[in-house]
Chains A and B, each alone.
Chain A
């Protein structure tokens, strides 16, 4: 953080004095805010707004009075879209200004939400190439004006930015022509071989599938064991977090995309309110679709805290979560950024742990992934299996991939990014329905690294079978898309990532949907084999082929069940350990979902199967109790974090009542 100069202190003091003189705050409140500003290392205006002491409009009107720059209400005087042409919205957001219109004398009227210091004014003049007339406005007005005035550019950038930048990285077209040709040729060859040499072809296909399964199981097991050996390793300790000083923390943007989730808005607000991070440096953007009036009403009606902002995502195709996140990326001011879903309950210190991890990981580390787990673990069979699966995946597989420097497919939430690094990657692919997994692989493909942190976000596990199938089919479809996208230039991928990483990507991302597709037929084959005498199979397949198949069936399944048991045990979900035995049934459900995914990949590749949230039967208190460490510390009402991070009403001096 830059040292506050005498001039900056003077501006802040004068602003405080004006607000006191105008009766908007008391002197005590001003002094409190000044101290909070020192602690947080940020602007006084941010402290006053985020603490709720001064409404945004009042504060910027006071700023206008202080700087003697007239105030302009951009709601009543919206900018002329013509003057926004060819401007970089990210620069405008970062610098806090927006051109309003061209004046008759050729000057440009510019609304600014900052103190008009000479360097900033010079930058604006250089950008516009004109002389300026300055007015003051609110930061909210700047953002809103940009969203409105640059709506089409933002939408276009959010939807097609990655595709325009590098079409090969986008799933807008799933199969490139040469991929299509290759697939057709392979299918034709297979058909010809099956016609001419039926038994030989059957054996060859069986051997290929068998080896694929064997390598896949072996790979996952090795990664899992590597992750298990690191169970005592803490990427970021509590001492590391405690050593962070508020004034050194950067601005952090939280993107919370929501769609038809009116019933969980307030839950999300409450969960994010528990984050242990200075509110003055926290920017929470609720990304709500323009035509989702129900959720917008719920968000507005609930009274959002001043550090949360609703961002309306313009209507447009594809209507997906990654597109909404790209809109949020457009408007993000934070040096770091994280995605949280509507029902998420992140560990309060997760943002701070991410910052420590980024500092240690170096500039090439563009993302860190927190672990995901569930709070409604024991509701039914699905929630139990889902929890065991996630425990294995996030507590063993991801640490193992991290230790082995293999590509990490991101989870759908709790991905923390360097904002600038994310922009360099091109943001999310709005055409990929697992944009998170794709981004993790893309980061590796472009030479960046992804890490993991020892922090957990708790979510709601799907308890409804239909809902689960929809969600899982989308994930499998996304993995298929990601495989097709990143297999377009295999040699380039190997050159950048290396053979080991490329094979890891192939086994994990391509291997997962393939294995699910074959699970059901193989179990069917196994069922048939129980009814058929053994010598018949011995007559069709050579002995070594039978052994591999049997190895996969018996050892492969047993190992995968076992790692699931161990994942549940590590998470201290002891009641799930024995349930892991039912994983073969759970995998059959995966298989069903994978066929739906394959069908949709062909017929509706970009369709986003929306998962319904908020269907758990647990009450709010039961849900809260199910999250480890969620109990409020004594003396802090409502489970909010320590006073140092968030101004509690009792900390802010209240005006004395007149005698």
Chain B
């Protein structure tokens, strides 16, 4: 990010705009003094923001219990303090998720506002955010015809409300890059968008690999799995269960297209998703469900410590921090 910021400001006017990508983290690196340290502080602040969102929504105790995989896994400490772009993106994803729950679950249009705008901000940190929008858009028809008063255009309208901001953000940024840098879609030589649409393992081969990775990520997310099972038992419906598989498919799609999400990114995302669903359906209000979910969270902590593939830079960071 720091190097990218230097590159972006080295040319005349806005001619190096193509290097301001993803926009938000690079802009932070340009504007904040102190290089890597300030970006790390920024990452911590955004992580704290996620924590405050969770605590405000579900209370300190429940946030702590359900958030154990984010608190007790050392790789999460590295992630939350060193990897600014995904942390920023996940912060806005958390906001978008809770907004979406208000929108989809309670029919509050204001929640749709929040979800859409948060997804746009998420895109500013992670170009793969449009896939989160795709997942939410795919979910809206599952809400049922009565939500839209029998109007067949209801799901289309709902999907437009969710997707427009992120599409607008993508279109606007692409326009700026084209206008000022003369390239499109700009210099994407930055993970996770480094190999978008390049299919290094071939189209079908890549799909298989992506599905395997996505389901492996799911397997490490015991809290999310437990949430899906508990919800299916609680609501006695399979529809929501199908809906909750959509994020897994979205993740597979992202990987297949070339967005190089790390395992830790998926780990974090599934915890957030689980907490959002648990909150909406008040699953923690029932002691038996709460017990199952907390156990699943503890198991996920163990998985995170023992089985989570290390992210690039984690080993060195761990050595420096805890030698």
Q: How many A-B residue pairs have CB under 8 A?
A: 83
Selected from B109, B116, B149, B168, the residue in CB contact (under 8 A) with A570 is B109
How far is B113's CA from A561's CA once the two chains are assembled, in angstroms?
Answer: 12
Interface 1/0 per residue, B95-115 and A, CB below 8 Å: 000000000000011101100
Please determine whether B176 and A550 come into contact, CB atoms closer than 8 angstroms: yes
Interface 1/0 per residue, B113-150 and A, CB below 8 Å: 10011000000000000000000000000000000110
How far is B172's CA from A576's CA once the two chains are assembled, in angstroms?
Answer: 23
Please determine whether B148 and A228 come into contact, CB atoms closer than 8 angstroms: no
How far is B13's CA from A577's CA once the two chains are assembled, in angstroms?
Answer: 37
Q: Does A546 contact B (CB under 8 A)?
A: yes
Interface 1/0 per residue, A71-101 and B, CB below 8 Å: 0000000000000000000000000000000
Q: In the complex, how many angstroms separate the beta carbon of B311 from the nearest chain A beta carbon?
A: 33
Give residues of chain A (553-582) contacting chain B, Cβ–Cβ below 8 Å: 554-555, 558, 561-562, 565-566, 568-570, 572, 574-578, 581
Q: In the complex, how many angstroms separate the beta carbon of B19 from the nearest chain A beta carbon?
A: 15
Assuming A534-B13, A558-B164, A566-B109, what are 14 further A-B pairs, CB within 8 angstroms? A228-B113, A534-B15, A538-B12, A546-B13, A554-B172, A554-B175, A554-B176, A558-B169, A562-B168, A566-B113, A569-B157, A572-B151, A574-B148, A577-B153
Chain B residues whose C-beta falls within 8 Å of the C-beta of A562 in the assembled complex:
113, 116-117, 164-165, 168
Give the size range of A's interface with the partner.
20 to 34
Chain A residues whose C-beta falls within 8 Å of the C-beta of B15 in the assembled complex:
534-535
Please determine whether B153 and A574 come into contact, CB atoms closer than 8 angstroms: yes
Would you give 23 A-B contacts (Cβ < 8 Å), ordered by A?
A231-B108, A232-B108, A534-B15, A534-B180, A535-B13, A538-B13, A546-B13, A546-B14, A550-B176, A554-B168, A554-B172, A555-B172, A558-B169, A561-B168, A562-B113, A565-B157, A565-B160, A568-B157, A572-B149, A574-B148, A574-B153, A574-B154, A577-B156
Q: Who on chain A is nearest to B154 by CB?
A: A574
How far is B165's CA from A546's CA once the two chains are assembled, in angstroms?
Answer: 22
Q: Does B2 contact A (CB under 8 A)?
A: no
- Beyond A534-B14, A543-B13, whether A574 also contacts B157 by CB under 8 A is yes
Q: Does A229 contact B (CB under 8 A)?
A: yes
Q: Does A520 contact B (CB under 8 A)?
A: no
Interface 1/0 per residue, B13-56 and A, CB below 8 Å: 11100000000000000000000000000000000000000000
Please determine whether A225 and B14 come into contact, CB atoms closer than 8 angstroms: no
Q: In the complex, how many angstroms separate the beta carbon of A536 from the nearest chain B beta carbon?
A: 10
Give residues of chain B (64-123) contacting chain A, Cβ–Cβ below 8 Å: 108-110, 112-113, 116-117
Interface 1/0 per residue, A218-235 and B, CB below 8 Å: 000000010011011000
Please determine whether A558 and B165 come into contact, CB atoms closer than 8 angstroms: yes
Interface size on B, residues (CB 8 A): 30
Q: Does B179 contact A (CB under 8 A)?
A: yes
A-side residues, CB < 8 A to B, are 225, 228-229, 231-232, 529, 534-535, 538, 543, 546, 550, 554-555, 558, 561-562, 565-566, 568-570, 572, 574-578, 581
Please determine whether A577 and B12 come into contact, CB atoms closer than 8 angstroms: no
Q: Does B158 contact A (CB under 8 A)?
A: yes
Please determine whether A561 and B176 come into contact, CB atoms closer than 8 angstroms: no
